[in-house]
Amino acid sequence: MKFSGSDVISMQEFSKEGVFEVLSHAQRIKEEGPRVDLSGLVLANLFFEPSTRTKLSFETAMKRLGGEVISIDSVRASSIKKGETLADTVRVIEGYADGLVLRHPKEGAAKMAARFVDCPVINAGDGSNEHPTQTLTDLYTIWREKGRIDGLNIAVMGDLKYGRTVHSLVIPLSMFDVNLFLISPPQLEIRSEILNDIKRNKADIHKSSFIESLIGDIDILYATRIQEERFADPNEYEKVSGSYKIDKKLLNGAKKDLILMHPLPRVDEINPEVDQLDAACYFEQSANGVTIRMALLEMILGGVLDE
């Protein structure tokens, strides 16, 4: 895959080889440190929805590579409040920065932005659609912890309907030789178009509403938050909130080397008593986000791997 100067909008654009190029490069950075100096380059963080991890990890990644970061992190303080279109905003910011990182509540926002600017656009979450850099972080975490992705039994659990991290993650996972268990309340099942897409790939897909009967077979349990902000009707949220609780009792029945992941923030789906267990991997997963974003910035802005 070509990365230099490219956008990262959707995991649909990634081949299996492309995924491994990013993971391998991230591992090289982890072991040997950065390969390029991005001093003199400016990354614009455009966050039109709240973010802690994604925004700060991009900022950290760019600074560790020697670059500078400018940010919009409040719609109220920007021209959006004055009615400016996103298309205008990104064309203005392109004049200040060498690359744009965009989080926006509307689905397809990053795709649209990329059509209006020449500089690279990285999708940091567009509504409930996709979050590809979180997915690369997740894949890197699985690969580091297990040494492989093929052959694993992977359960993705929680809000599969609105969860953008889930939508992005199941696309590449389905390209591997894995058993992929999709666990959700019936109201929050994965959308049919995504299910149809991934069914065409290599993975064996299984749907379920319960984790208890599966926990003994799972290598990776990827839990997600049921996101109150995606529900138009608060009553509908109340019906499904708290559907899953991961605690020591549940994990007693798990494989000894189970890895428990979560894109964070969590609400009540993982009991804090689990944090001390070897299975708990979500804080390392979060830290891996910086390494992956350093790898992407080196490849996209620094042209590493394309020479």
Partner 1 sequence: MNDKDLRVGSIKDGTVIDHIDAGSALKVVQILGIDENIEDIVSIAMNVPSAKTKTKDIVKVEDRELASDEVDKIALIAPEGTINIIRNYEVIEKNKVNLPKFIKEVVRCPNRNCISNTDEPIKSEFQVINKNPVKLRCVYCERAIEQNVSEHIK
53 as an active site residue: the answer is yes
Report the residue from 1, 42, 75, 87 that binds partner 1 according to the rule CB under 8 A: 87
Alpha-carbon torsion (13, 15, 21, 24), positive or negative: positive
Task: Assess contact for 134 and 54: CB atoms under 8 A.
Answer: yes
131 belongs to an annotated ligand binding site: yes
103 as an active site residue: the answer is yes
54 as an active site residue: the answer is yes
Give the pair of three-digit tokens for residue 146: 């297990």
195 belongs to an annotated ligand binding site: no
If the CB atoms of residues 45 and 123 are measured against partner 1, the closer one turns out to be 123
Give the pair of three-digit tokens for residue 263: 């894109």
Backbone angles phi and psi of 139, in degrees to 5: -65, -40
Report the residue from 2, 52, 81, 106 that binds partner 1 according to the rule CB under 8 A: 106
**Choice among 55, 103, 104, 161 that is catalytic:** 103
Give the pair of three-digit tokens for residue 98: 């060498």
Residue 209's alpha-carbon distances to 158, 182, 228, in angstroms, are: 9, 8, 19
If the CB atoms of residues 126 and 298 are measured against partner 1, the closer one turns out to be 126
Give the pair of three-digit tokens for residue 95: 């004049």
E-strand spans in 134-230?
A: 153-157, 179-183, 204-208, 220-223
Q: How far is the CB of 53 from partner 1 (least distance, A)?
A: 23
Pairing of strands 68-72, 42-47: parallel
54 belongs to an annotated ligand binding site: yes
Contact call for residue 199 and partner 1 (CB under 8 A): no
**Calpha distance 199→150 (Å, rounded):** 16
- Comparing CA positions, the residue from 154, 263, 158, 266 lying closest to residue 209 is 158
If the CB atoms of residues 47 and 282 are measured against partner 1, the closer one turns out to be 47
**Choice among 25, 54, 165, 167 that is catalytic:** 54
**Calpha distance 223→245 (Å, rounded):** 10
Binding segment (CB under 8 A) for partner 1, from list 14-22, 66-74, 186-194, 198-206: 186-194
82 belongs to an annotated ligand binding site: yes
Report the residue from 5, 18, 66, 105 that binds partner 1 according to the rule CB under 8 A: 105
Binding segment (CB under 8 A) for partner 1, from list 47-55, 108-116, 221-229, 235-243: 108-116
Contact call for residue 115 and partner 1 (CB under 8 A): yes
Binding residues (CB under 8 A) for partner 1: these are: 10, 12, 85-87, 104-109, 111-112, 115, 126-130, 191-194
* Binding-site entries for carbamoyl phosphate: 53-54, 103, 131, 134, 264-265
Residues recognised as catalytic: 53-54, 82, 103, 131
